[in-house]
């Protein structure tokens, strides 16, 4: 053990790690601008999604889109109810349940739509998840094991990223940890004949967390099924009671299932997950998705969006090897029950989803670099924490400190070294001469690009936007400059590397756009705008009217 560690009690080290995890979340609230999906969440929670219209082939005032990213003007309680109704109607076109959006809507009403305000609710959820993971770990591993699990979850780079992300994945982990802790406490209270009050309290917490988890993410159903398996392991004599609690948590969601989920299924595009290729190719893809998900969750974090798939797969193999090694060591040290609990929490839901993918001919496990399976993360970390606490022997401190330091390095490097201020830079270009009339031309009309562009421009800006796929953009731009070229003193041409709903501009198409601009505009500035993945890569070319 390094000499430095001798001067610090074990608990102090773990408490320090938990404190650092909380501080990292607070100081990084505004360290990045909204990314693609976050601004879509903002549009949804304002209740104005139905008012959004894709840009046409004529310029539109960009401020019209900015108004959709804040609450509409409400003069009465009836207006508030009407906004809520629009919110629910907008959600039925989305693939996710409504709880996250409803909570974020209330948060928006309290604190506004700034980046820090919108992200503060996921941070609150993540702090709650870290706290509950201590309770879960303490139940299985004791006080020190609880602190270790809380520290691992708090510093895990994958969860750190999603803790600062206005999406449902952070809250999903909270409901996962809370329901896992609740069922363990419920089983303990029932089997040890503790006070009826304690049984009732933990039973209610279990029902509530299962309901909330399922209303946050539909794949949470796999987690609930795993809790059912856990019951059969720990207290099968009373399976009927626990089954009643778990099924009640799902049955409470029946009104949404009958109204919202039915409409969501009608709107769903499930073909995008369909398998293609022969048996060997699909088998390898299922295995590769499973390995990459493991690697992303346990080791890589958000770096997965720029790393080569082969490297991610190799990292996944390493993560699986670590899990197998931890399990083998726990068996040798006669810690089979803790191993089984960690397996049920972390591995079983993954195997269930892979099996469903194989049977249905779909590939959903690897979606979003594994974020659809983020609810297995606490169980996987529990397996590692159990090994460190119960079976690592003389390597205990070194293993814990080494892994926590690795997580801290990967997470802080992600937030400090990777730039994500593309649209703020565009706003800075426009604000250099705000009095001039400007036209922004963009070869993407994807709403994640359009809305972020609108969000970061000043509210009083009179900037116009012409956004179309490249093939439609060229004639639209030519027509706009022919009919109203004198209206614009400046033109900012944003070439997206990945337009989402179209193809990148070819060399010939770029030359055609240059030919359209050359007679009336001259290039005065050009720069590359690079984010953390290809969706955020642009070339910004500023033109001045001749």
Can you spell out the DSSP letters for 332-374?
Answer: HTT-HHHHHHHHHHHTHHHHHHHHHHHHHTB--TTGGGGGGGG
Report whether 493 contacts 541 (CB < 8 A): yes
Q: Which pLDDT score, from 0 to 100, does residue 220 have?
A: 97
Query: Three-class SS of residue 494?
Result: strand
Check residue 73 and give its pLDDT: 87
The burial of 383, by beta-carbon neighbours within 10 Å (0-12 exposed, 13-18 middle, 19 or more buried), is given as buried
The candidate with the shortest Cα–Cα distance to 210, out of 254, 259, 253, 263, is 253
**Residue 428 structure tokens:** 């800075």
Pairing between strand 490-496 and 438-442? parallel
Is residue 490 within 8 A of residue 436, CB to CB? The reply is: yes
Would you call 61 helix, strand, or coil by DSSP? strand
**How far, in Å, CA of 502 to CA of 469, rounded?**
6
Asked if residue 43 lies in contact with residue 451, where contact means CB atoms within 8 angstroms, the answer is: yes
C-beta separation of 249 from 210 below 8 A? yes
Q: Which two tokens stand for residue 445?
A: 């009309």
Going across the sheet that includes 438-442, the strands are: 60-61, 464-467, 438-442, 490-496, 538-545, 521-529
- Does residue 542 sit in helix, strand or coil? strand
Give all domains of the chain, ordered by start, each with its CATH number. Answer: 18-46+113-265+277-393+410-417 (no CATH), 422-545 (3.40.190)
Q: Which two tokens stand for residue 527?
A: 């720069």
Distance CA 382, CA 338 (A): 9
Query: What pLDDT sits at residue 6?
Result: 54
Contacts of 324 (CB under 8 A, 6+ apart): none
What is the rounded distance in angstroms from the CA atom of residue 402 to the CA atom of residue 295?
17
DSSP state of 258: I
The residue count of the chain comes to: 546
- The phi and psi torsions of 290 (rounded to 5 degrees) equal -65, -45
Task: For residue 214, count other CB atoms closer than 10 A to its CB.
Answer: 24
Which H or E run contains 243?
A: helix 239-251
Position 29 scores a pLDDT of 95
pLDDT in tens, the chain (546 residues): 455 455 457 888 999 999 999 999 999 999 999 999 999 999 999 999 999 999 999 999 999 999 999 999 888 888 899 999 899 988 988 889 999 999 999 999 999 999 999 999 999 999 999 999 999 999 999 999 999 999 999 999 999 999 999 999 999 999 999 999 999 999 999 998 778 899 999 999 999 999 999 999 999 999 999 999 999 999 999 999 999 999 999 999 999 998 888 887 776 666 666 666 678 888 889 999 999 999 999 999 999 988 999 999 999 999 999 999 999 999 999 999 999 999 999 999 999 999 999 998 888 898 889 999 999 999 999 999 999 999 998 889 899 999 999 999 999 999 998 888 899 999 998 888 877 889 999 999 999 999 999 999 987 778 999 999 999 999 999 999 988 656 899 999 999 999 998 899 999 999 999 999 999 999 999 999 988 888 899 999 999 998
Q: Which residues contact 88 (CB under 8 A, 6 or more apart)?
A: 98, 260
Classify 134 as helix, strand or coil: helix
Please state, in angstroms and rounded to a whole number, the distance separating the CA atoms of residues 179 and 187.
12
DSSP 146-198: HHHHHHHHHH-HHHHHHHTSSSTHHHHHHHHHHHHHHHHHHHHHHHTT--HHH
Q: Which two tokens stand for residue 152?
A: 């691992």
Taking residue 283's Cβ as centre, other Cβ atoms within 10 Å add up to 12
Handedness of CA 68, 71, 74, 79 (dihedral sign): positive
Residue whose entry in the numeric block shows the structure tokens 């501080």 = 23
């Amino acid at each position: 053990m390094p000499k430095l560690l001798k001067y610090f009690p074990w608990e102090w080290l773990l408490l320090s790690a938990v404190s650092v995890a909380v501080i990292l979340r607070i100081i990084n609230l505004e360290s990045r601008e909204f990314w693609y999906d976050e601004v879509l969440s903002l549009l949804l929670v304002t209740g104005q999604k139905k008012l959004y219209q894709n840009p046409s082939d004529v310029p539109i005032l960009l401020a019209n889109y900015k108004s959709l990213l804040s609450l509409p003007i409400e003069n009465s309680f009836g207006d508030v109810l009407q906004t809520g109704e629009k919110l629910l109607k907008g959600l039925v076109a989305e693939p996710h349940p409504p709880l996250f959006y409803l909570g974020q809507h209330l948060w928006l009403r309290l604190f506004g739509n700034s980046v820090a305000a919108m992200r503060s609710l996921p941070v609150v959820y993540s702090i709650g998840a870290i706290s509950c993971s201590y309770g879960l770990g303490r139940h299985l591993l004791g006080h020190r094991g609880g602190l270790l699990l809380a520290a691992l979850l708090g510093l895990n780079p994958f969860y750190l990223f999603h803790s600062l992300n206005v999406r449902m994945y952070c809250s999903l982990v909270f409901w996962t940890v809370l329901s896992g802790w609740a069922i363990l406490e419920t089983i303990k209270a029932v089997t040890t004949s503790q006070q009826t009050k304690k049984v009732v309290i933990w039973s209610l917490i279990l029902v509530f967390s299962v309901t909330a988890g399922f209303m946050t993410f539909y794949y949470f159903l796999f987690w609930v099924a795993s809790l059912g398996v856990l019951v059969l392991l720990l207290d099968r004599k009373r399976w009927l009671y626990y089954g009643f609690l778990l099924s009640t948590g799902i049955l409470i969601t029946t009104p949404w299932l009958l109204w919202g989920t039915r409409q969501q299924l009608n709107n769903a595009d499930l073909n995008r997950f369909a398998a293609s290729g022969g048996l060997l190719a699909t088998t390898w893809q299922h295995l590769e998705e499973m390995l990459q998900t493991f690697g992303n969750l346990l080791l890589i974090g958000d770096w997965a969006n720029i790393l080569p798939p082969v490297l991610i797969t190799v990292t996944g193999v390493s993560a699986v090897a670590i899990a197998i090694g931890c399990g083998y060591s726990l068996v040798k040290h006669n810690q089979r029950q803790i191993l089984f609990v960690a397996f049920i929490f972390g591995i079983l839901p993954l195997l269930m989803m892979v099996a469903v993918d194989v049977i249905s001919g779909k590939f959903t496990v690897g979606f979003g670099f594994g974020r659809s399976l983020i609810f297995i993360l606490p169980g996987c970390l529990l397996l590692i924490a159990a090994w460190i606490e119960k079976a690592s022997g003389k390597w205990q401190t070194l293993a814990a400190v080494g892994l926590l330091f690795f997580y801290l390095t990967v997470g802080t490097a992600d937030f400090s070294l990777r730039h994500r201020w593309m649209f703020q830079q565009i706003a800075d270009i426009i604000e250099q001469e705000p009095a001039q009339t400007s036209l922004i031309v963009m070869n993407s009309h994807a709403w994640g690009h359009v809305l972020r562009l609108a969000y970061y421009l000043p509210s009083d800006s009179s900037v116009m936007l012409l956004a179309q796929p490249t093939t439609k953009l060229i004639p639209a731009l030519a027509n706009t400059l022919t009919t109203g070229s004198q209206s614009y003193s400046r033109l900012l041409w944003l070439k997206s590397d990945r337009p989402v709903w179209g193809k990148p501009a070819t060399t010939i198409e770029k030359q055609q756009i240059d030919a359209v601009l050359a007679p009336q505009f001259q290039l005065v500035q050009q720069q590359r705008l690079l984010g953390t993945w290809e969706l955020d890569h642009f070339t910004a070319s500023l033109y001045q009217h001749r």
